[in-house]
Structure 1
Amino acid sequence: MYLSTNVFNMERARSSIINVTSNAGCDTIGLRIKTKASLYDKNRESRMPKQKGMCIAVFAKHGASPKQAIWRSVVDLLAANAFHVLVCDSMLNSGSSRKSKPECDEANFEFANLALIKKKAKIAVIIGGDGTFLGTARELADCNIPLIGINQGRLGFLTDIRLDDINPTLIDTINGQSVSENRAYLEGQILRQGKVVENHIALNDIVISRGIVGGMVELRVEVDGTFMYDLRADGLIISTPTGSTAYALSADGPILHPSLAGLLIVPVAPHALTNRPITLPQHSTIDIHVTGGKQTGVHFDMQFNGRAKVGDQIRIKVSPHPIQLLHPARYDYFAMLRQKLHWSASPTEAPHKTRGLRDSGHAK
């Protein structure tokens, strides 16, 4: 084997090409070796993200000010790391939208509607509490964009990154130092005389509840076409594992680990004390027939509210399209439960541990 080396002038190029030719065959292999550039260029390369120019969408709570320090600092950090940033214009109300967009013409981001974000964005960063995260997740359910949450709310079961830990955790998470996790959506339909009158999705839960006026709701529950039970109660919760730490938990439901493929049915204040929560396989189809009650409500993540009449049927199943969450590399589900729910804390310790809970993260 012999080597033939062509070295280009360093003034014209920063790399050398060495052609290695083997006598045993006719294959020629080209190897490109980077030469040492200036210290500035070397440091700049080390700061560059793995996917230079990748489009990142930023969502903030509806009505947030265009000059709000938190989301602008997130945008500045992403832009400084060479990401193309789109800020969803749904955060702006009609008045502020008209006033703020001209002021941001020379900014390091651009406002974009949801359709453009679905087309271009590779990752979505959501700034807010769990409510903001749930609403955004439903809006992006059909486009398979991974979601990262920054906690600007209270507990933050879904928003992992603390406000005081955005830099460098956010950039590290985007660049691959992360834990990817799929979570299931629920699809819910309200059928009236066999026709679908409402069709929505939920990440946490779908709740059938009594109306403002009247007594308990009366329901007949079937699973995969098989009768399960009749129920008289204030309501019924159909929850994903993600939602098992939400309303279902306050109604004495169990906590399901997010990796479990299951559904949770939890009665709310049932008339019969023998009606207890039950966990079903994820592939189950749940049909709930409204047999009594007035102004029965059907709530999707407690953010969209529908109405069901006596004789209506509510059909619930898991969506075939899961949501993808990106957690920081140090994410620990059980540490999150300890911090948010005060696991392993005695009653005398719990009040002290609530200090700073607003910005608490999920790391140990």
Structure 2
Amino acid sequence: MDLKQVIIAHKAGDSDSRRWAEKCARQLESRNCRVLLGPSGPKDNPYPVFLSSVTERIDLALVLGGDGTALAAARHLAADGIPILAVNIGGTLGFLTESIEMFSDTERVWDRLSEDRYAVQRRMMLSATVFDGDRRDAEPQSDRFLALNDMCVKPASADRMITSILEMEIDGEVVDQYQGDGLIVSTPTGSTCYNVSANGPIVHSGMEAIAVTPICPLSLASRPIILPSGCVVSIWPLGDYELNTKLWTDGVMATSIWPGQRVDVRMADCQAKFIILRENYSYYHTLREKLQWAGARIQYSNNHRN
């Protein structure tokens, strides 16, 4: 990898993340690399400025924060194929990030990247667009939204908790109507986030599949379903007289969905590319450690395997 132009995004409001970002910027600049640096958070989005201010290829995005910071980077950078090195500084779980211990010797990290001594993990993403009516050739009524974890259709109100009624089609065929708190359409990466909290299935991140999970449905017959990645999931809000239904991408509100509109969710035509520095990376170890399964909580001897 050539390190000629790098963007560095640090978690907004986190002093440790900012300090590491400034340190990395100085080191990269001493290697004749152009660096664009800025905070990333709910009220800070540096990526449009980064992307519009460069004329040459961006070689790397260094993202310092937690999973939320990494998700924001993926949503804005995946379409341009920019590899992301996400490091857990100021984060909590860190499903998508490298540990700070792996990153502590930053000069060695730059050497490894320059010498191509790393792996790239490609992760499926979702795209969503809002349409008017039932005409399949209709013009979209919204931008295209991307998500690495999930698309969620659910109501939002400052006054009360609202029950939604949503109709789901798969490839144009009505499958079910859900009454409850909403619907989650998840990637395998996002299956261990909101999806699993709603009793959805865990799907290996190396797969290409779509999981649809109802949130607190009022019927025991409403169950999660896993679909092939080529399917198009269409969701219609029904009975939304107060105009509360929203589309959320990775937990961030994207747009409103009005009565008579539908949102189509499908596999995106781009993938998020995450750089892996760990030589012994294991998806199952990540599950044990981050979800605190028994293998991570109980220490015992493995002598019975010898």
Shorter-normalised TM range: 0.7 to 0.9
Aligned to 1:75: 25
- Once the two structures are TM-superposed, the CA of residue 57 in structure 1 deviates from its matched residue by 2.0
The CA distance in 1 between the partners of 2:196 and 2:146, in whole Å, is 20
Aligned to 1:310: 259
Q: Does the aligned pair in 2 maintain the 1:130–1:156 contact within 8 Å?
A: yes
The CA distance in 1 between the partners of 2:94 and 2:192, in whole Å, is 11
Q: 1:217 to 1:195 in 2, by over 3 A?
A: farther
Aligned to 2:304: none
Q: Does the aligned pair in 2 maintain the 1:86–1:117 contact within 8 Å?
A: no
The CA distance in 2 between the partners of 1:151 and 1:83, in whole Å, is 26
Match of 1:162 among 100, 109, 129: 100
Aligned to 1:171: 110
Q: 5+ unaligned residues in a row in structure 1: which ranges?
A: 1-49, 98-111, 353-364
1:1-364 matches, within 5 Å, as: 51=2, 54-62=4-12, 68-79=18-29, 82=31, 84-89=33-38, 113-117=50-54, 119-152=56-89, 153-162=91-100, 165-167=103-105, 170-171=109-110, 173-174=112-113, 175-193=115-133, 194-199=138-143, 200-212=145-157, 213=160, 215-293=162-240, 294=242, 295-328=244-277, 329-345=279-295, 349=297
Q: Does the aligned pair in 1 maintain the 2:167–2:236 contact within 8 Å?
A: yes
The CA distance in 2 between the partners of 1:141 and 1:67, in whole Å, is 22
Q: 1:239 to 1:269 in 2, by over 3 A?
A: same
The CA distance in 2 between the partners of 1:119 and 1:286, in whole Å, is 37
Aligned to 1:20: none
The CA distance in 1 between the partners of 2:142 and 2:32, in whole Å, is 39
Q: 1:296 to 1:143 in 2, by over 3 A?
A: same
% identical aligned pairs? 26
State the Cα deviation string for residues 311-340 of structure 1 (Å, max 9, x = none): 210111111111211111332211111111
- Once the two structures are TM-superposed, the CA of residue 63 in structure 1 deviates from its matched residue by 5.4
Q: 1:154 to 1:65 in 2, by over 3 A?
A: closer
Q: Does the aligned pair in 2 maintain the 1:184–1:319 contact within 8 Å?
A: yes
Q: Does the aligned pair in 1 maintain the 2:166–2:182 contact within 8 Å?
A: no
Work out which of the two has the higher radius of gyration on C-alpha atoms and give 1 or 2. 1
Q: Which has the higher contact order (CA 8 A, sep 6+)?
A: 2
- Once the two structures are TM-superposed, the CA of residue 214 in structure 1 deviates from its matched residue by 6.2
Alignment size in residue pairs: 281
The CA distance in 2 between the partners of 1:124 and 1:115, in whole Å, is 15
Q: 5+ unaligned residues in a row in structure 2: which ranges?
A: 300-306
State the Cα deviation string for residues 62-118 of structure 1 (Å, max 9, x = none): 4567994221222234345x25141234659x9xx9xxxxxxxxxxxxxx7332357
- Once the two structures are TM-superposed, the CA of residue 161 in structure 1 deviates from its matched residue by 3.1
Q: 1:338 to 1:55 in 2, by over 3 A?
A: same
Aligned to 1:22: none
The CA distance in 2 between the partners of 1:151 and 1:67, in whole Å, is 9
| TM-score, normalising length: structure 1 | 0.70
| TM-score, normalising length: structure 2 | 0.82
The CA distance in 2 between the partners of 1:332 and 1:198, in whole Å, is 38
The CA distance in 2 between the partners of 1:207 and 1:266, in whole Å, is 10
Is the deviation greater in 287-296 or in 199-208?
Answer: 287-296
Q: 1:88 to 1:198 in 2, by over 3 A?
A: farther
The CA distance in 1 between the partners of 2:254 and 2:193, in whole Å, is 17
State the Cα deviation string for residues 10-62 of structure 1 (Å, max 9, x = none): xxxxxxxxxxxxxxxxxxxxxxxxxxxxxxxxxxxxxxxx74x5332211124
Is the deviation greater in 137-146 or in 172-181?
Answer: 172-181
